[in-house]
Amino acid sequence: MPTFANIETFTNLLSSALDEGIFISIHYSNKRSFSTIDKIQCRFLEIKNAPQISSSIFQNDQNYIKNDPPKAFLNNHKEWLPLFKQIILKTNSETIQLLVNKKQKGTLKISTQKNEVINPNHNRSKNYIINEDAPFLHSLGISSSNGKVKEKGYKKFRQINKFVEILEAHLPDEDPKDPMQIYDFGCGKAYLSFAAYYYINTVQKQKVNLLGIDLKSKVIDQVNQVATNLGYDTLRFEVGDITKFQIQKMDVMIALHACDIATDIAIAKAITSNAKLIIMAPCCHKQVRKSLTPSPVSSTIFKHGILEERMIANITDGIRGLILESKGYKVKIFEFISSEHTSKNVMILAEYTGLIKNTQDDINQLKSTFGIKNHYLESLV
């Protein structure tokens, strides 16, 4: 049963955890309307053998890192508390949730559970969110049995951590009691499915149901066996065409390297299912190229094959972004990982805000300028 307590009680519990050396992490989320900070995620670190609290402050699509000794961090905590409706403190043996209403009255919920201690040593070349010894990495052939990433697995290891870094910064706030519903369309060998599941379920200790979908039955059989062997009961994979899947609830949609219009179908599924977060990296932009009749403006560029390919990819993804904005999403398009690892490195990230923009004139202008008859996503939404 939840107990009712004021904010001072929660702060005292935090102070005790810091003093006793049992503090693991604290997350501030569900911001208030006047807060300019989206969320804050803090964890314990040792920097040059001295205890520090490292705070990742997410504000205006940027992530700022602030490291403070425990006593100084307690002052930061007092400043941040009024900005958020939910704060979750994790210690070695407890998870403490504080829910604060408009009148600044707090409801305190304490659950006893052993939380994973994240490696506190900061004196390393890189501080990855997913450590090398994560069990799924060995099961997928990325690391060896002694928990070290294989030389040939480092590119995939860095890609996984970059993806989880993006996921961490934009993951929607959910009631810890309700499982987060995630779909990975075109999951393939499911590296990112396993990474997302491990991060949310094991690191964040949040309930999650994740379904990966792909057309290759042999691959699906293999990754289902891996999930079973790891005991990931709410991670499963199915063979099938995403157009035929009936989805009742979707919080997060992932579609990395879904080919051509499969990306558009995945976007449409996410929009109609009211997904809060969409993460995708499109490839093979064939549909727009087939519907294109070069205009006088574009023909001077499209005579060079490489420029035509890049321009069509940019236009295709640009229109996808405009359509998402017209459906109430805030959109970012950026380089996912370095092009030295893969040429398919453009990521589209869309977060639902409810702010609908009228982008039809911009879409029509792009189509007219470059001689595009139609964009497949328009016909789906």
pLDDT at residue 298, as a whole number: 74
Range of the domain at 146: 135-380
pLDDT at residue 337, as a whole number: 67
Residues 169 and 104 in one domain: no
On the question of pLDDT at 343 being above 80, the answer is no
Residues 142 and 290 in one domain: yes
**Contact (Cβ atoms closer than 8 angstroms) between residue 298 and residue 332:** no
pLDDT band at 344 (very low <50, low <70, confident <90, very high): low
Mean pLDDT of the chain: 87
Average pLDDT over residues 76-88: 94
Residues 64 and 186 in one domain: no
Strand-by-strand arrangement of the 208-214 sheet: 235-239, 208-214, 180-185, 252-259, 277-283, 346-352, 329-335
Average pLDDT over residues 331-346: 70
Single residue among 77, 112, 147 that ends a domain in this structure: 112
Is 337 a domain residue? yes
Is 228 a domain residue? yes
Average pLDDT over residues 23-31: 93
**Based on the structure, what is the number of domains in the chain?**
2
**Contact (Cβ atoms closer than 8 angstroms) between residue 246 and residue 273:** no
Is 298 a domain residue? yes
Is 199 a domain residue? yes
Rounded CA Rg of the chain: 23
Residues 215 and 361 in one domain: yes
pLDDT at residue 5, as a whole number: 57
pLDDT at residue 78, as a whole number: 92
Single residue among 112, 127, 155 that ends a domain in this structure: 112
Residues 280 and 232 in one domain: yes
Residues 250 and 340 in one domain: yes
On the question of pLDDT at 270 being above 60, the answer is yes
pLDDT at residue 142, as a whole number: 94
On the question of pLDDT at 326 being above 90, the answer is yes
pLDDT band at 284 (very low <50, low <70, confident <90, very high): confident
Is 204 a domain residue? yes
Is 55 a domain residue? yes
Share of the chain above pLDDT 90, in %: 55
pLDDT at residue 341, as a whole number: 45
On the question of pLDDT at 125 being above 50, the answer is no
Is 236 a domain residue? yes
User: In sequence order, what are the residues at sequence separation of 6 or more whose Cβ sits closer than 8 angstroms to the Cβ of residue 104?
Assistant: 7, 82
Strand partners, 239: 214
On the question of pLDDT at 261 being above 50, the answer is yes
Single residue among 112, 145, 164 that ends a domain in this structure: 112
| Structure token digits, residue 318 | 């640009």
Which CATH number does the domain housing residue 373 bear?
3.40.50.150
pLDDT at residue 124, as a whole number: 42
Residues 174 and 272 in one domain: yes
Average pLDDT over residues 231-248: 91
Q: Where is 29: in which H helix or E strand? A: strand 23-31
Residues 183 and 255 in one domain: yes
On the question of pLDDT at 305 being above 80, the answer is no
pLDDT at residue 49, as a whole number: 66
pLDDT-wise least confident of 131-140, 239-248, 359-368:
239-248
On the question of pLDDT at 312 being above 90, the answer is no
Residues 157 and 269 in one domain: yes
- DSSP-based three-state secondary structure for 175: coil
Q: Which range, 105-109, 114-118, 183-187, 286-290, has the best average confidence (pLDDT)?
A: 183-187
Average pLDDT over residues 308-314: 86
Give the separation between CA 210 and CA 192, rounded to whole angstroms: 11
pLDDT at residue 306, as a whole number: 81
pLDDT at residue 336, as a whole number: 81
pLDDT at residue 148, as a whole number: 86
Task: Look at 230 and 107; give whichever has higher pLDDT.
Answer: 230
Residues 215 and 346 in one domain: yes
pLDDT band at 95 (very low <50, low <70, confident <90, very high): very high
Task: Look at 153 and 116; give whichever has higher pLDDT.
Answer: 153
pLDDT at residue 1, as a whole number: 36
Residues 198 and 62 in one domain: no
Give the separation between CA 335 and CA 281, rounded to whole angstroms: 9
Give the separation between CA 68 and CA 24, rounded to whole angstroms: 15
Its sign, for the CA torsion 135, 137, 140, 145, is negative
Task: Look at 333 and 289; give whichever has higher pLDDT.
Answer: 333
**Contact (Cβ atoms closer than 8 angstroms) between residue 10 and residue 87:** yes
Give the separation between CA 196 and CA 212, rounded to whole angstroms: 11
Residues 315 and 174 in one domain: yes
pLDDT band at 251 (very low <50, low <70, confident <90, very high): very high
pLDDT at residue 325, as a whole number: 97
Is 164 a domain residue? yes
pLDDT at residue 123, as a whole number: 44
Give the pLDDT confidence of 185-216 residue by residue, as tens digits.
Answer: 999 999 999 999 999 999 988 999 999 999 99
Q: Which range, 42-51, 155-164, 265-274, has the best average confidence (pLDDT)?
A: 265-274
On the question of pLDDT at 2 being above 70, the answer is no
Average pLDDT over residues 96-120: 80
- Length of the chain measured in residues: 381
